[in-house]
Amino acid sequence: MGLRAAVLIVVLLLTGICSGEAAPRNHCLGCHPAHYTEQGSCRYCHLGNQQTSRKQLAHSGVIAGQYATFTNPRTPAVIAGTKLAEQAACRRCHVLNNTGNHLASNLDKLLWTTSPEAIRKALLDPAIYMPVFRFSEQDLDNLVTAVLAGGRQTGKLLKDPPQVVHFSDAGSEKRNIFSKHCGGCHKVLSKRDGGLGSGTAGPNLSGLLTRFYPPTFTDNTRWSEEKLKRWVKNPRAVRKNALMRPVLLNPEEWDQLLNILNVVL
């Protein structure tokens, strides 16, 4: 009995030593050459599952090479994509790298929920109240990489509630002050009423009164309630060649418009 116990102990010790020394096999290397080995594993940059040789499972959630530098915020692609996100004012509707308005989906979640290809497609074919962008192929790669980087930097556990974007029905559109006076030329994604307006002649006004909207008032300054009131009352008094006509609003209508445009209610 004592001999059997001793043998069993030796076997368990040897098993523990072997299992401790043996690293899990990286099946990615069966098809792909090793590169950037200082990162430690293929999954660090590409996600996916490197512990299986079944291609469908291994490539589940994989990040293609053109976006793989998202793990390093100092790479040219992430820097260029972040700058482009600022120029396109993505944060007037979205949170990116834990900063922005909560009018539409939180972009920091996309690394864990959405493929880079789907993000790219959403930029090429934007949702109904999202501005239409004309990004080059390289800009698209950089912007998607920056979005993925935002998810990496903020972490997987995001406690924001699910984002709900609702749209007004035809009846409420007719009664809505924005749709009545502004919606023929502009669109807006509002916190209170969802998407309003159908026009494309004027700029998208989502997030207009926040610090994330482009500084397009005179002298490249940001919009405010006072500046908006001056503009709406007489656009050409602010900008000589303005094409917009004056819109006369009574105090009650003005308050209704501000309630629509304000992001924080």
Q: Give the DSSP letter string of 80-101.
A: HHHHHHHHTTGGGTSEETTEE-
Distance between CA atoms of residues 263 and 130, nearest Å: 16
Residue carrying structure tokens 């469908």: 56
56-82 pLDDT, tens digit each: 555 555 677 677 888 888 899 999 999
Instruction: Write out the two tokens for 197.
Output: 């307006």
Asked whether the beta carbons of 84 and 75 are under 8 A apart, the reply is no
φ, ψ (nearest 5 deg) of residue 219: 60, 30
Distance between CA atoms of residues 254 and 184, nearest Å: 18
Q: Tell me if residue 221 falls in helix, strand or coil.
A: strand
Structural domains for the chain: 65-154 (1.10.760.10), 170-261 (1.10.760.10)
7-38 pLDDT, tens digit each: 445 444 445 444 454 556 765 554 566 555 55
Residue carrying structure tokens 């940001």: 222
Residue carrying structure tokens 């994330």: 212
Asked whether the beta carbons of 101 and 212 are under 8 A apart, the reply is yes
Q: Is 203 exposed, middle or buried (0-12, 13-18, 19+ CB in 10 A)?
A: middle
Least confident of 47-51, 133-137, 173-177: 47-51
pLDDT of residue 43: 56
Q: Which of 202, 207, 196 is nearest to 169 (CA)?
A: 196
86-130 pLDDT, tens digit each: 999 999 999 999 999 999 999 999 988 889 999 999 999 988 888
232-244 pLDDT, tens digit each: 999 999 999 999 9
Q: To the nearest whole percent, how much of the chain has pLDDT over 70?
A: 68
pTM, two decimal places: 0.76
